Amino acid sequence: MNLPRSVRAGLIASAVLVLAACQTPMPTEGPRAIANLQPTMGNQTSGTVTFAQRGNRVEVHAVVTGLKPNHEHGFHVHEAGDCSSGDGMSAKGHFNPYGKPHGHRATMERHAGDMPNLRGDASGRVDARFELDVVTVAPGPASVVGRGLVVHAQPDDYKSQPVGNAGARMACGIIERG
């Protein structure tokens, strides 16, 4: 095909721009946060939990040890970023900026801080990844940054009000911008 020189030059310039755009990395990283879980008095549960904003969702990666082997444990974002009490009660209740009842994360009628139970393996360790759709890491009313993070002794039943009957607090951490 014989195209005029100016048309060929324009096509080449366009192709170069398209290729250059393909080489520019797309931003995949959003705001991040981390919580270092420390055991409450008389417990051995500890771990690290990261939160990464991905569009309108938050990816959570929890690595926790010292859980009861082969047992589920309630896991929640709590209102206050305060773990100063020996029992974790200084973290207050579940993070609930929209005034919803406690519930399962598969429903829209739930606290922003309601998360899936953690299940310890045979050695009491968990390495879990999941997504949340109500909270954010970015600033705003549903941001987890500055909140408490708690692992409970019992599984969350996802129905008992106001906190799912998850029992004592085995570990507590403060979610900080990371």
- More reliable by pLDDT, 26 or 128: 128
Asked if residue 9 has pLDDT above 60, the reply is no
Q: What are the pLDDT digits (tens) for 47-69?
A: 999 999 999 999 999 999 999 99
Which domains does the chain show, CATH number per domain? 32-177 (2.60.40.200)
Q: How many Cβ atoms from other residues are within 10 Å of residue 9's Cβ?
A: 11
- More reliable by pLDDT, 120 or 18: 120
> 143 vs 17, 130, 138, 149, CA distance in Å?
38, 17, 6, 13
Return the pLDDT at 18. 47
Question: Which residues, 6 or more positions from 75, have their beta carbon under 8 angstroms from its beta carbon?
Answer: 62, 115, 116, 117, 118, 149, 150, 151, 152, 156
Distance separating the N- and C-terminal Cα atoms of the chain = 56
- Nearest CA to 124 out of 51, 39, 34 is that of 39
Mean pLDDT of the region 35-52: 97
User: Which H or E element spans position 42?
Assistant: none
Q: What are the pLDDT digits (tens) for 53-110?
A: 999 999 999 999 999 999 999 999 999 999 999 999 999 998 989 888 888 877 777 8
The span from the CA of 8 to the CA of 64, in Å, is 60
- Nearest CA to 30 out of 106, 112, 144, 162 is that of 144
Phi first, then psi: give them for residue 54, nearest 5 degrees: -130, 90
| Mean pLDDT value across the chain | 86
